[in-house]
Amino acid sequence: MSSIISVANLSKTYGSGFKALKNVNLDIKRGEIFALLGPNGAGKTTLISIICGIANPSEGKVLVGGENIQTSYRKARSLIGLVPQELHTDAFESVWATVSFSRGLFGKPKNPAHIEKVLKDLSLWDKKDSKIITLSGGMKRRVMIAKALSHEPQILFLDEPTAGVDVELRKGMWEVVRTLQQSGVTIILTTHYIEEAEEMADRIGVINKGEIVLVEDKATLMSKLGKKRLTLHLQGKVTSLPESLAHYQLDLCDNGATLVYDYDTKGERTGITSLLSDLRDAGIRFNDLDTTQSSLEDIFVDLVRTS
Amino acid sequence: MNHRAIRAIYLFEMARTWRTLLQSIVSPVVSTSLYFVVFGAAIGSRISQVEGVSYGTFIVPGLIMLSVLTQSIANASFGIYFPKFTGTIYEILSAPISYFEIVLGYVGAAATKSIILGLIILATAGLFVPLHIQHPVWMLTFLVLTAVTFSLFGFIIGIWADGFEKLQMIPMLVVTPLTFLGGSFYSIDMLPPTWRSVALLNPVVYLISGFRWSFYEIADVSVAVSICMTTAFLVICLAVIWWIFRTGYRLKN
């Protein structure tokens, strides 16, 4: 797949001397959903702002669809739809007027059919004549998405799209994002909800203190760094473990009712077979067992801590 | 040229005008009528003619300028400040639109509004005093030039302001005094010689003088000087705006 966005040696230093981005290099593939994760103040929004033309870079180069964002900004920006993190909306305009305004701003001829489709896809059609000030937070968020989609962009930036949105709406929004991807739109989203990245993304980038710490396919990332946990539900309570089991570094939980074993899926030997036989030799019996994969959240926390 | 974007911004701003019709059009008309009642009828009746024109008639160009100046600044500064304040400026900055086009949209709308307002006040004045315009083309030229120049000036204030107080400060503390002292209500020839020299440092004197000339062929300074001074101020505003966008001052940092 070819790159639709290419960021090279990008740095941003604010007037206060704060370095928000340090030599960032990143390529976004055409048609993918890319999730950018990072703690608050990591530089996610700064990076998006520079690509979209809202902030000036201090150093480096950004190409969008092969066009330089500074020398060929018209072509570059017309490919992009941006949904910023904060709910920045007009107040007294109607939904229809504000979405149509966005389309005009991006130089596209009027197309009521397209605006209608966008509003219907986002369940805003019955609100098209309402003033924005009368809408709920979740609706305002969708109005902002509608504005970003009004000019049929090839790339959609969603900066924390589901912050403050209830579970049902969030799932609805994921659905919209998937449909957009199927229609060929490249999506870059930043999020605090790791489950969102885990659910949606094809690739994941982690940014911390202005530096890209890692970019990886989600599946690879999960299997590369993923740990699994085996939980054994014991028949009787165990107060202490015999010496023969010490090297497994087991955890005794629930007052000795369950036994937890963490193992690495990428290791050659997981140690499960020998653990089970050692348990039998030690006379520890169990009713049930289950395994769970560590979540992206655990991986993320580890990464940010070590970087 | 992204003409659709210019149109979108222009119509958006004009829609704001129609939505706030009372505040944008009616209130300046009411306050101008009050000036006519107070200065034209009440006080003016006790003042002899000024350079062959009755006092009520004499103040008409000055009153129009007073409103056009203040409204141009208010419209344009608010037009660009408000998106900054609410954050919707992100969309303007991320759109495929040049700075020139942004200015054209905002300043065009602000200037249109104050030109309409100037003409409404002119018509209102016609109800109170007899009016004759010697040079209608020049009158319109001065009106348009002033509306555009001060809308540009307002645009600069709107970008510079980072709070509502600053937004009000320049119009209240600088522009209103300059307009009142700029000969709206008197000819600067009426001033003692020292104050007359001081008054000539006030750029508004040149605007009002030129505008009044187009009505009655009465001028404090020559028309050529009026046009040069107004154009000079226009060029200064354009240069400042060019610098603002080149550096991203208060917009992109």
Max CA separation in chain B (angstroms): 60
pTM here is 0.83
Beta-carbon count within 10 A of B18 CB: 10
* Nearest-by-Cβ selection for A106 from B12, B95, B98: B95
In chain B the first and final C-alpha atoms are separated, in Å, by 26
Which structure tokens are listed for B47?
């003042």
Q: Given pLDDT bands bounded at 50, 70 and 90, which one contains residue A226? A: low
Residues of A in contact with B9 (CB under 8 A): 105
**Is A15's CB within 8 Å of B253's CB?**
yes
Of B2, B88, B93, the CB nearest to A107: B2
3-state helix, strand, coil in chain A (%, to 5): 40, 30, 35
Mean pLDDT over A227-255 rounds to 86
Cα distances (angstroms) measured from residue A288 to each of A258, A265, A295: 10, 21, 22
Interface ipTM > 0.95: no
Half-sphere exposure of A218 (CA within 13 A, CB side): 20
Per-residue pLDDT band for A193 (boundaries 50, 70, 90) equals confident
- Measured between beta carbons, which residues in chain B are less than 8 angstroms from residue A84? 87, 90
What's the gap between Cα B167 and its chain centre?
16
B9, B87, B95 ranked by CB distance to A77: nearest: B95
Measured CA to CA, the distance from residue B155 to residue B74 in angstroms comes to 9
Tell me the CA distances in angstroms from A293 to A155, A240, B77, B252, one per residue in order: 32, 27, 57, 44
**Chain A residues with beta carbon closer than 8 angstroms to that of B97:** 74, 105, 107
* B246–chain A Cβ distance below 8 A for any pair: no
Burial-class residue A227 by CB neighbours within 10 Å (0-12, 13-18, 19+).
middle
Residue numbers in B near A97 (CB within 8 A): 15
Q: Which of the residues B2, B78, B90, B101 would you substitute to probe the A interface, choosing the one with the greatest number of A C-beta atoms within 10 Å?
A: B90
Chain A residues with CB-CB distance to B248 below 8 A: 55-56
Q: Does B9 touch chain A (CB under 8 A)?
A: yes
pLDDT value at residue A224: 67
| Residue closest to B66 by CA, chosen among B92, B43, B39, B105 | B39
CB contact (8 A) between residue A97 and residue B15: yes
- Chain B residues with CB-CB distance to A75 below 8 A: 96
Q: In Å, how far are A262, B14, B79, B102, B165 from B85, measured between CA atoms?
A: 52, 19, 10, 17, 13
| Residue closest to B98 by CA, chosen among B6, B8, B10, B14 | B6
Name the residue facing A104 among B5, B248, B253 (closest C-beta): B5
Closest B-chain CA to A73: B96
Task: Tell me how far apart the alpha carbons of residues B166 and A31 are, in angstroms, rounded to a whole number.
Answer: 46
Chain A residue with minimal CA distance to B253?
A55
CB B90, CB A86: distance < 8 Å: no
Rounded to a whole number of angstroms, the distance from the CA of A106 to the nearest CA of chain B is 6
A contacts of B7 (beta carbons < 8 Å): 104
B202 close to A (CB below 8 A):
no
Cβ of B253 within 8 Å of Cβ of A90? The answer is no
Average pLDDT over residues A74-86: 94
Residue A120: partners with Cβ closer than 8 Å, 6 or more residues away: none
pLDDT tens over chain B, length 253 residues: 889 999 999 999 999 888 888 877 788 788 888 888 887 778 877 887 888 888 888 889 999 998 899 899 999 999 999 999 989 999 999 999 998 999 999 999 999 999 999 999 999 888 888 888 999 999 999 999 999 999 999 999 999 998 889 888 888 888 888 888 888 888 888 888 888 888 888 889 999 999 999 999 988 888 999 999 989 999 999 999 999 988 878 887 6
The pLDDT of residue A150 is 96
| DSSP one-letter string for A115-180 | HHHHHHHTT-GGGTTSBGGGS-HHHHHHHHHHHHHTT--SEEEEESTTTT--HHHHHHHHHHHHHH
- The amino acid occupying position A155 is I
For residue A80, list chain B residues with Cβ-Cβ distance below 8 A.
Answer: 94
**Do A18 and A11 contact (CB within 8 A), yes or no?**
no
Q: Is the pLDDT of residue A175 over 70?
A: yes
- Of A86, A105, A109, Cβ closest to residue B97: A105
Q: Which of A22-36, A60-74, A264-278, B153-167 has the lowest mean pLDDT?
A: A264-278
**Residues in chain A closer than 8 A to B78 (CB atoms):** none
Residue type (1 letter), A274 = S
Alpha-carbon distance A75 to A59, whole Å? 21
Query: Which letter does DSSP use for residue B9 in this model?
Result: H
Residue A203: pLDDT band (50, 70, 90) is very high
In this predicted structure, the answer to whether residue A222 has a pLDDT above a threshold of 80 is no
User: In this complex, which of B90, B95, B96 lies closest to A84 when CB atoms are compared?
Assistant: B90
Instruction: Tell me: pLDDT of A108 over 70.
Output: yes
Nearest chain A residue to B97, by CA? A74
Inter-chain CB pairs, A–B, below 8 Å = 79
- For A251, the token pair is 């955890």
Residues of A with CB under 8 A from a CB of B: 14-15, 52-56, 73-78, 80, 82, 84, 86, 88-93, 97, 101-109, 147
User: Which of A34-38, A171-175, B10-14 has the lowest average pLDDT?
Assistant: A171-175
Residue B45: the pLDDT is 79
| Residue A134 in tokens | 């009368």
How far away is chain B from the Cα of A249, in angstroms, using its nearest Cα? Answer: 52
Mean per-residue pLDDT, A221-233 = 78
- What are the C-alpha distances in Å from A297 to residues A161, A162, B108, B148? 18, 17, 51, 56
**H-only helix segments in chain A:** 44-52, 73-78, 95-105, 112-121, 137-149, 167-182, 194-200, 218-225, 272-281, 296-306
B11-58 pLDDT tens trace: 999 998 888 888 777 887 888 888 888 877 788 778 878 888 888 888
3-class secondary structure, A33 = strand
Dihedral sign of CA atoms B200, B170, B11, B8 in order: positive
Is residue A95 within 8 A of residue A129, CB to CB? The reply is: yes
Mean pLDDT of A163-191: 86
Q: A225 falls in which pLDDT band (50, 70, 90)?
A: low
* SS3 at position B181: coil
Record: contact A84-B87, CB cut-off 8 A: yes
Distances (CA, A) of A255 to A234, A238, A259, A279: 11, 8, 10, 18
Tell me the shortest Cα–Cα distance from A118 to chain B, in angstroms: 18
Instruction: Pick the most confident of A98-107, A242-251, A272-281.
Output: A98-107
Element holding A29 (H helix, E strand): strand A19-29
Q: Which pairs from A13-18 meet CB under 8 Å and 24+ separation? A: A13/A58, A14/B253, A15/B253
Q: Which residue from B minimizes the CA distance to A15? A: B253
Residue of B86, B94, B253 with shortest CB distance to A14: B253
Structure tokens at A165: 């949105």
Alpha-carbon distance of B207 to B171, in angstroms, equals 17
Subunit contact A104:B15, Cβ cutoff 8 A: no
Residues from chain A contacting residue B252 (CB–CB below 8 Å): 54-56
Q: What is the pLDDT of residues A144-161, one digit of tens each?
A: 999 999 999 999 999 988
Contact at CB, A78 and B93, closer than 8 angstroms: no
SS (H, E, C) A94-124: EHHHHHHHHHHHCCCCCCHHHHHHHHHHCCC
User: Rounded mean pLDDT of A11-15?
Assistant: 92
